[in-house]
Amino acid sequence: MTSDLCYCFDDQEIDDIAEDMYANKVRRLPVVNRQKRLVGILSLGDMALADGHAAATTDALQGICQPGGAHSQSTDGTAGIEAR
């Protein structure tokens, strides 16, 4: 488990959340209110279903699918991707 917790706020813009998902290479984020109480989970799939946010979702997916990053579960940065 990672030591840095990533989350988003329930009133945050989807485009900003997509940028955070891209930067942190995560597919799901806990959603908290401004008192930092958990109110839900946001997935990349949820974003894909939101009207008018296809570009942000596509950009986030492209970044998330690149190997490595701070939240990779492997020590060599490949996140379990096998060489072909």
pLDDT in tens, 65-84: 766 555 555 555 444 444 43
Residue-level pLDDT at 26? 86
Domains and CATH numbers, the chain: 8-63 (3.10.580.10)
Instruction: Take residue 50 and report the two structure tokens written for it.
Output: 């939101």
Average pLDDT over residues 5-15: 92
What is the C-alpha separation between 52 and 75, in angstroms, rounded? Answer: 37
Query: How many other CB atoms are found less than 10 A from the CB of residue 11?
Result: 8
Rg from Cα positions in the chain: 14
pLDDT in tens, 12-50: 998 899 889 888 888 899 999 999 999 999 998 888 777
